[in-house]
Chain A
Amino acid sequence: MVSTIFAFINAAIIQGIPLLYGATGEIITEKSGNLNLGIPGIMYIGGISGIIGGYLYEHSTDNPAALACILIPLICSLAGSSLMALIYSFLTITLRVNQNVTGLALTTFGMGVGNFFGGSLLSFFGESGSISLITTGNYYKASLPFADKLGLFGKTFLSLGFLAYAAIIIALLTSYFLNRTRMGLNLRAVGENPATADAAGISVTKYKYLSTVIGGAIAGLGGLYFVMDYTGGAWTNNGFGDRGWLAIAIVIFAIWRPSTAILSSFLFGGLYILCVYIPGLSSSAKELINMLPYLVTIIVLVIISMRKKRENQPPAHLGLSYFREER
């Protein structure tokens, strides 16, 4: 029984890591006033870019080196998701296209691109079957050396790959950045009231671009973690599922706080796989349980809008384009 509970906690954390990356990335983006609904697509791109990089490297050498196995997919993933976020930024910030439409288009696009390359990458090289980068996957999955020696605790909390710990560190750093630094203050100002920020000499465009691109890159790492660590280097079409949307739901659930997003992600990760751990469920009951994360998000939304506490509201200028007042 105890071991089942720990196994569940371990699984919840593993499920939560991609969500945490997505949520942290989206929080940074939303703090600048950009509602990037392209995050699910960006996470797909983050995953498939890593796969492509890893595949090309593994394909080109007989003895893949550990460092290259980690760095090449990592850099490819960051580049792919940043590019997606850059497209979003150019459309919404420079051309002032509607943010929702742009985001949804990018999500559809990203999923399509992911599935296209995931399904046909091997055939480009005359191979058949499905992608499986076991060597790269194993490097990503490598756990801390002393994890085995610490019993149940080590197994549950220390057996994760490095990207899992990085996710938590990035979330904590983001929290520090937003609340304790001058640039964080400026960024929050841009999301709250860009006209005021502009008048105070802050470059609204620069902050919006940077936060959206960096946020997109962080979210993309969630996709990379999923394909390299969680599935061990294998790609299945639509395997990432609706985790991207769940990440956006966590942003609301955590009321735009990256530190709160950490535990929220693990909670949502737990709810996501809860049905596996409850024995004897009918398939309809499973679907109901899978609905829980979204239900909880709706309840949180209702509560924060009822309490009307100003600090808990979304950035005031979220989803709107900024036009400098001119006469």
Chain B
Amino acid sequence: MCVGSAAIELRGITKRFGNVVANSNVSLSVYGGEILSLLGENGSGKTTLMNMISGIYYPDEGQIFINGEEAVIRSPKDAFKYKIGMIHQHFKLIDVFSAAENVVLGLKEKGKYDIKTVSERVAEISEKYGFDINPDKKIYEMSVSEKQTVEIIKVLYRGADILILDEPTAVLTPQETQKLFTVLRKMREDGKAIIIITHKLHEVLSLSDRVAVLRKGEYIGTVETAKTDEAELTEMMVGKKIELNIERATPENPQDRLVVKNISCKNREGVNVLDEVSFTARSGEILGIAGIAGSGQRELLEAIAGLQHIDGGEIIYNNPKTGSADNLRDKTPLQIRELGVRLSFVPEDRLGMGLVGNMDIVDNMMLRSYRKGKSFFLERKAPKNLAETIIEQLEVVTPSAATPVRKLSGGNVQKVLVGREIAAAPTVLMAAYPVRGLDINSSYAIYNLLNQQKKNGVAVIFVGEDLDVLIELCDRIMVIGSGRVAGIVDGRTADKNKIGLMMTKTQGGNENEQ
């Protein structure tokens, strides 16, 4: 298999974005007739690395060799010249065009443009590798799997010998995944070099010849699939536990505040993003949610907040004041508030869903409280006081309360948002990736705020991506994978590798440790 020079070889590749090192000294190689899995957690730099091969980014340091010769890849066009094709996670297709039209788009072929000849060649390629596609079908009539097929054919039509697939199975059903793997194996037999980015271990083991692992931008190593197992790969992927020293108090008198029972919901493509999810959030406790990005975390929080329609199940809120149990399913945020449910939500998209970037801090406070006003005119006094309190207490760095929020740094934006949500004196506080993009000090400030709320008897739901943080901050950690609950573990006894393993398993994962 590994005869002669590698189809593609990376030597000492480093890429920085500002202060963030996305890839640090990565070296790996792929041979023709081989499938290499690139494994790593979210933010481990897999996609960045592949984007450098496909010409989207240019490495700061290091060299790329194609068939033993050094290559300079500065644009997708250069990558195409070296017969490299990348299939992105987000398809780049024109909806109103047919498959054949999308395949031929942007190509400078010689001869007359005739869509029929293109269709015939697409059919030829389909037959060779066992795709199932109608070249004249419009993209908007296609399923996700068909769209992906069009993307792969597009790359093959351009004569690619090196194929990179960025999480190709994330959007596929198990049957479609099997079909894709059959096709990929045929391509391997055809002598193509294939790199597949994934974090699903069982797929790695069943498909690839070798596995390269990245962790936080660092290259950990490459192992042969036949000589490894899930446990070894998980350890390479998540690494050893790091002590962070985040304070964690014992929950006092926890009561079931929010009881979620078997909720399911589908996305626009009809794929289940939440599948029979059940859990209980207790007062005075932080419930962590761990999982690969896009496993249904966003939909789950939005369903509770009344922003997402669910197809089944119920969300029961136990009101501590009245003692009544209300079902929040399919209620709008306003209806939920009118029920007396004090729910606060710090969404992932701070300046999209959380705050209005062009409005100042005071106006952003008012977004949550303007209904309290009694007269025709805005009452700015209370929100102004609140804004000033937040700026003072949370040490928000801003010229004044009248500064547009978009001009603040990420950490300060987050403080404003969290401050506003906490000021509403919630009984349930949901925070999605509240420390994403923040520096260490701001992160600890946010942890402290969450801990304070916990002491006040709030049921805190914390969606995080850093396992070390989840393990130290949360009382219990719910792990979800592909929209299912893989298990709920106790934060005090949780094992990082085990959580990593639960996250990456698609099905099963019934090790419930409660």
Contact = CB atoms under 8 A, between A and B. Distances in A.
B140 interface: yes
B80 interface: yes
Interface of B: 17, 57, 76-77, 80, 92-97, 101, 104-109, 113, 138, 140
Nearest to B105: A200
Contacts of A192: 94-97
Interface residues of A, number: 21
Contacts of A181: 113
Interface stretch (A91-99, A182-190, A291-299): A182-190
A182 B94 CA distance: 15
Interface in A292-327: 310-311, 313, 316, 327
Contacts of A201: 76-77, 80, 106
B106 A189 contact: yes
B94 A186 contact: no
Interface of A: 180-182, 185-186, 188-189, 192-193, 195-197, 199-202, 310-311, 313, 316, 327
9 contacts: A185-B105, A186-B105, A193-B93, A196-B93, A197-B105, A199-B76, A200-B107, A310-B95, A316-B96
Contacts of A196: 92-94, 105
A180 B112 CA distance: 10
Contact of B96 (A199, A202, A311, A327): A311
A182 B77 contact: no
Given A185-B113, A310-B95, A313-B96, 11 more contacts: A182-B107, A182-B109, A182-B113, A185-B104, A192-B94, A192-B96, A193-B95, A196-B92, A196-B93, A201-B76, A327-B17
B96 A200 contact: no
B135 to A, nearest CB: 14
A327 B107 CA distance: 27
Residue of B77, B80, B97 ringed by the most chain A CB atoms within 10 A: B97
Contacts of A186: 105-106
B92 A199 contact: yes
Contacts of B95: 192-193, 310, 316
B73 to A, nearest CB: 14
A195 B94 CA distance: 10
A195 B92 CA distance: 8
By Cβ-Cβ distance, the 8 closest A-B pairs, closest first, are A200-B106, A196-B92, A182-B113, A201-B106, A202-B106, A199-B92, A200-B105, A192-B94
Residue of A199, A202, A313 ringed by the most chain B CB atoms within 10 A: A199
Given A189-B94, A192-B94, A310-B140, A197 B113 contact: no
Contacts of A180: 113
A186 B138 CA distance: 16
A255 B95 CA distance: 17
A193 B94 contact: yes
B495 to A, nearest CB: 34
A199 B93 CA distance: 10
A198 B17 CA distance: 22
A202 B97 contact: no
A98 to B, nearest CB: 15
A188 B97 CA distance: 9
B506 to A, nearest CB: 29
Contacts of B108: 182
Contacts of A185: 97, 101, 104-105, 113
Nearest to A316: B95
Contacts of A200: 92, 105-107
A196 B147 CA distance: 14
Nearest to A313: B96
A188 B105 CA distance: 10
A189 B105 contact: yes
Residue of B57, B76, B94, B140 ringed by the most chain A CB atoms within 10 A: B94
A177 to B, nearest CB: 11
Contacts of B76: 199, 201
A193 B105 CA distance: 12
Contacts of B93: 193, 196
Contacts of B140: 310
Residue of A181, A189, A200, A310 ringed by the most chain B CB atoms within 10 A: A200
A1 B106 CA distance: 55
A13 B106 CA distance: 38
A133 to B, nearest CB: 43
Contacts of A193: 92-95
A197 B109 CA distance: 16
A201 B97 CA distance: 17
Nearest to B88: A199
Nearest to A315: B96
A193 B94 CA distance: 6
A37 to B, nearest CB: 24
Nearest to B140: A310
B163 to A, nearest CB: 16
Nearest to A312: B96
A181 B17 CA distance: 41
A167 B224 CA distance: 68
B436 to A, nearest CB: 15
Contacts of B92: 193, 195-196, 199-200
Nearest to B109: A182
Contacts of A197: 94, 105-106
B105 A202 contact: yes
Nearest to A182: B113
Contact of A189 (B17, B77, B97): B97
A192 B92 CA distance: 11
A195 B76 CA distance: 13
A197 B104 CA distance: 11
Contacts of A202: 105-106
Residue of A185, A186, A193 ringed by the most chain B CB atoms within 10 A: A185
A310 B17 contact: no
Nearest to A201: B106
A181 B106 CA distance: 12
Contacts of A188: 94, 97
A327 B113 CA distance: 36
A310 B142 CA distance: 13
B452 to A, nearest CB: 35
A201 B76 CA distance: 7
A304 to B, nearest CB: 14
Contacts of B96: 192, 310-311, 313, 316
Contacts of A327: 17, 57
Contacts of B138: 310
Nearest to A203: B106
A195 B97 CA distance: 15
A313 B94 CA distance: 13
